[in-house]
Amino acid sequence: MIRIAVVDDHPALRAGLRTVLDAEPGLVFVGESAGDDESLWPVLKRSEPDLVLLDYHLRHGDGLQLCHRIKRSVTAPKVLMFSAYASPALTLAARLAGADGVVDKGLAARELFEAIRAVHGGAPPIESPPRYALAEALQGLDERDRPIVGMLLDGSTEAEIAQALRMTVDDVDHAVRRVLSATRAHVPTATE
Amino acid sequence: MRRMGRAGRRTRDRLIEGDGAPWLALLVATRLLATAIAAVLLVLDPADDWLLALTPYGALSATAIALAPRLRASPSAWAFDFTTVLAFVAASGDWRSPFYLLWLTTLALPATHLPLGPARWLAVGSAAAYLGVAVGGGPAPGYLRPLTSETLVIHLTLPIVLVAGLAYARSVLLALQEERTRRERLAIETERRRIAWELHDSAKQRLHAAHLLVSSLQRRVAPDLEPTVQRASVELESAAADMDTSLAELRSPLEGRPLHEALGARARELSTDGGPQITVHGLAPPLPPLVAAHVYRIGSEALTNALRHAEATTVEVTLAQTDGTLRLTVTDDGRGMSDHPRPGASGILAMQSRAASIGARLTFDVPSSHTGTRVLVEIPAAAPKGASA
């Protein structure tokens, strides 16, 4: 039984997901949010999902930052990033934000179920993004934030990074947020 | 969009180059009035009877101007008109000539056609020419009483005021017209972005939801209904893909223009007085919008690089298609790549990533002339359509 919370700003998509998830044996829809702070955190707290299906393009907020914050919580659920524009830049950004997977919104229900089960079952982290996407993202970053990107991609936790770079965990956290804002600029959107 | 642009240009021509009906009517009427005044003055002064024979020129030239648009835009016609009427003034033996008003009207056409710079010379030059006729034809200024000298000053100031005023009005109209075109373009662009955002934000999300719902029925319905569900799922998926294409077109920097036109427009935007000369050759075949957008952005990045870093004097953009491969080259004769930041510079990286995402090959080398930089983008005919923006 996999408990799933859906974070997407479009009601039609949330309703659709609820219907298909509830109809699938082994998956349970436990809560939904449009991604705003008022509803998201209570929903996560109340429903204690195993996995969050998180839209990248949120109207009120930033899917990357949300992902990062969700993954910071003590009993962090798995996060499967959900986007209408899956691209190498997004894959990279999602990995930096600590997401456990990225799926395209155009997937058929069955493929989505497979992705959910794979991520929940501890599938290997998101495939490595192409080198050019990494190089492009590094361009926009502050010199001191670059090693953090490398370590994040290697799978280090923020605590490990803090220790390695002799920084406080909070400083690392701020740095990661900076990195995420900068990477976001490279991710194409509908209104590029 | 393009049709509007052309219409806009036509309006501008009509407004400014003196082809608009009211403006033309005013010009012709002024000329006829000036001719009539000359005729009346000559009739009242019986001493210069033979000069009356010159007055039909005013009426004839006004007719010619009204009927022949090409004559109105021809500098040699202006020069002929100007010189002829100045000769009439000289022939009348006094600079307080009955032909003075007619002579003033000969300045109207060049003043409304020339840019401000040359118009300044026209203003000063015409006054100087008139002064020359006044000095040569007498009564010379030295022999004049102060009152008549003042009249001469007025005679010489009027053409300057007239030319300056008309030329200034023309330049203001031009600037206004450009501003309007720019605003129209901006409004259209904003509107396209809004539509793109709405399509993405609402319609496409609903399509995704519908696709999810229908596809979840697969292998769950009676076997005889399975093909229907399968088909519906495929259709919904294709609809989402179609919408992606439309969205890409809506937010494309090409705005519905072919690639070569868009690149030409970009070159014009980037070219400056005294800067490198930019030429754009060749035609681009119709391309999938995403591919065209990427090639356009690679091309404009290469152009920007050549203008910014290369210290080039000429930049050549060429589009050519051979064996199904489209080649875009941007060649400059500047100081070459050796001093440029090598791959790693963000602009070049962005170009490489764009090329990679449409399956195109991007190479930098030295052109056959051995100086400068050549950027070559090779786009295979079957570039993947679904490449992400």
Cα–Cα–Cα angle for B214, B219, B223, rounded to 5 degrees: 105
For residue B94, give both structure tokens.
């006094």
In the predicted model, is pLDDT for residue A3 greater than 90? Answer: yes
Cα–Cα–Cα angle for B60, B66, B69, rounded to 5 degrees: 120
B216 contacts in chain A (CB < 8 Å): 19-20, 23-24, 109-110
Average pLDDT over residues B130-143: 72
| Angle of helix B289-309 versus helix B346-357 axis, rounded to 10 | 160
> What residues contact B86, with CB distance under 8 A and at least 6 apart?
B103, B129, B130, B133
Predicted local distance difference test score (pLDDT) of residue A15: 92
Predicted local distance difference test score (pLDDT) of residue A63: 87
Contact A84 B204 (CB under 8 A): yes
The CB-side HSE value for B143 (13 A sphere, CA atoms) comes to 8
B199 contacts in chain A (CB < 8 Å): 190
In the predicted model, is pLDDT for residue B37 greater than 90? Answer: yes
Smallest CA-to-CA distance from B170 within B33, B6, B34, B23 is with: B23
In the predicted model, is pLDDT for residue B385 greater than 60? Answer: no
**What is the pLDDT of chain B when averaged over all its residues?**
82
Better-predicted residue by pLDDT, B41 or B4: B41
Q: What does pTM read for this prediction?
A: 0.60
Predicted local distance difference test score (pLDDT) of residue B188: 81
Predicted local distance difference test score (pLDDT) of residue B12: 44
Do the Cβ atoms of A112 and A103 come closer than 8 Å? yes
Predicted local distance difference test score (pLDDT) of residue B92: 84
- Range with top average pLDDT, A98-107, A142-151, B89-98, B156-165: B156-165
Do the Cβ atoms of B17 and B73 come closer than 8 Å? yes
B245 contacts in chain A (CB < 8 Å): none
Nearest to B251 among A12, A139, A191 (CB): A191
Average pLDDT over residues A115-144: 79
Do the Cβ atoms of B251 and B193 come closer than 8 Å? yes
* Percent of residues, chain B, with pLDDT higher than 70: 87
**Rounded to the nearest 5°, which phi and psi values hold at B160?**
-65, -45
Nearest residue on chain A to B346, alpha-carbon basis:
A139
In the predicted model, is pLDDT for residue B142 greater than 60? Answer: no
Distance separating the N- and C-terminal Cα atoms of chain B: 24
Predicted local distance difference test score (pLDDT) of residue A59: 76
In the predicted model, is pLDDT for residue A46 greater than 60? Answer: yes
> How far is residue A181's CA from residue B221's CA, in Å, rounded to a whole number?
45
Asked whether the bond before A25 is cis by omega within 30 degrees of 0, the reply is: no
Nearest to B208 among A87, A105, A140 (CB): A105
Average pLDDT over residues B134-138: 75
* Percent of residues, chain A, with pLDDT higher than 70: 95
Cα–Cα–Cα angle for A17, A44, A88, rounded to 5 degrees: 60
The distance of B385 to chain A (nearest Cα, Å) reads: 14
Nearest to A20 among B201, B205, B216 (CB): B216
For residue B296, give both structure tokens.
């356009």
The 3 state secondary structure assigned to chain B is CHHHHHHHHHHHHHHHCCCCHHHHHHHHHHHHHHHHHHHHHHHHCHHHHHHHHHCHHHHHHHHHHHHCHHHHCCHHHHHHHHHHHHHHHHHCCCCCCCCHHHHHHCCHHHHHHCCHHHHHHHHHHHHHHHHHHHHHHCCCHHHCCHHHHHHHHHHHHHHHHHHHHHHHHHHHHHHHHHHHHHHHHHHHHHHHHHHHHHHHHHHHHHHHHHHHHHHHCCCCCCCCCHHHHHHHHHHHHHHHHHHHHHHHHHCCCCCCCCHHHHHHHHHHHHCCCCCCEEEEECCCCCCCHHHHHHHHHHHHHHHHHHHHHCCCCEEEEEEEEECCEEEEEEEECCCCCCCCCCECEHHHHHHHHHHHHCCCEEEEECCCCCCCEEEEEEEECCCCCCCCC
**What is the pLDDT of chain A when averaged over all its residues?**
85
Better-predicted residue by pLDDT, B339 or A34: A34
Nearest to A10 among B197, B205, B240 (CB): B205
Contact B210 A16 (CB under 8 A): yes
Predicted local distance difference test score (pLDDT) of residue B324: 81
A190 contacts in chain B (CB < 8 Å): 196-197, 199-201, 247, 251
For B280-331, the pLDDT digits (tens) are: 988 888 888 778 888 998 998 888 888 877 778 889 999 998 888 899 999 9
The CB-side HSE value for B216 (13 A sphere, CA atoms) comes to 20
Nearest to B208 among A13, A139, A192 (CB): A13
In the predicted model, is pLDDT for residue B4 greater than 90? Answer: no
In the predicted model, is pLDDT for residue B55 greater than 50? Answer: yes
> How far is residue B63's CA from residue B126's CA, in Å, rounded to a whole number?
24
B208 contacts in chain A (CB < 8 Å): 13, 16, 84, 105-106
Classify burial at B57, counting beta carbons within 10 Å of its beta carbon; exposed 0-12, middle 13-18, buried 19 or more. middle
Which residues of A lie inside 8 Å of B (Cβ-Cβ)? 8, 10, 12-13, 15-17, 19-20, 23-24, 59, 84-88, 105-106, 108-110, 112, 130, 132-133, 135-136, 139-140, 188, 190-192
Predicted local distance difference test score (pLDDT) of residue B138: 61
User: Of A175-179, B54-58, B364-368, where does mean pLDDT reach its minimum?
Assistant: B364-368
Predicted local distance difference test score (pLDDT) of residue A2: 93
Contact A17 B212 (CB under 8 A): yes
Predicted local distance difference test score (pLDDT) of residue B276: 84
Predicted local distance difference test score (pLDDT) of residue A186: 64
Smallest CA-to-CA distance from B336 within B318, B359, B317, B310 is with: B310
In the predicted model, is pLDDT for residue A189 greater than 80? Answer: no
A17 contacts in chain B (CB < 8 Å): 209, 212
Predicted local distance difference test score (pLDDT) of residue A8: 92
> How far is residue B290's CA from residue A50's CA, in Å, rounded to a whole number?
38
Contact B208 A16 (CB under 8 A): yes
Contact B211 A106 (CB under 8 A): yes
The distance of A159 to chain B (nearest Cα, Å) reads: 31
Rg value, chain A, Cα: 16
In the predicted model, is pLDDT for residue B81 greater than 90? Answer: yes
For residue A181, give both structure tokens.
């804002």
Average pLDDT over residues B176-201: 84
Better-predicted residue by pLDDT, B316 or B250: B316
- Compute the residue count for chain A: 192
Do the Cβ atoms of A21 and A28 come closer than 8 Å? yes
Contact B237 A108 (CB under 8 A): yes
For B194-226, the pLDDT digits (tens) are: 888 888 878 888 999 999 999 999 888 899 999
In the predicted model, is pLDDT for residue B5 greater than 90? Answer: no
The distance of B214 to chain A (nearest Cα, Å) reads: 8
Smallest CA-to-CA distance from A79 within A61, A97, A62, A58 is with: A97
A 10 A CB-CB count for A23 gives 14
> How far is residue B142's CA from residue B231's CA, in Å, rounded to a whole number?
101
- Range with top average pLDDT, B57-61, B247-251, B331-335, B365-369: B57-61
Predicted local distance difference test score (pLDDT) of residue B95: 83
Predicted local distance difference test score (pLDDT) of residue B172: 92
Split at pLDDT 50, 70, 90, the class of B147 is: low
Average pLDDT over residues B217-244: 89
In the predicted model, is pLDDT for residue B388 greater than 70? Answer: no
Distance separating the N- and C-terminal Cα atoms of chain A: 39
In the predicted model, is pLDDT for residue A25 greater than 50? Answer: yes
Count contacts between A and B (CB, < 8 Å). 98
Cα–Cα–Cα angle for B112, B115, B120, rounded to 5 degrees: 90
Nearest to B215 among A15, A59, A109 (CB): A109
| Interface confidence (ipTM) of the complex | 0.82
In the predicted model, is pLDDT for residue A192 greater than 70? Answer: no
A139 contacts in chain B (CB < 8 Å): 346, 349
Predicted local distance difference test score (pLDDT) of residue A117: 93
Looking at the DSSP bridge assignments, the partners of residue B362 are B377
Contact A188 B389 (CB under 8 A): yes
In the predicted model, is pLDDT for residue B382 greater than 80? Answer: no
Predicted local distance difference test score (pLDDT) of residue B328: 93
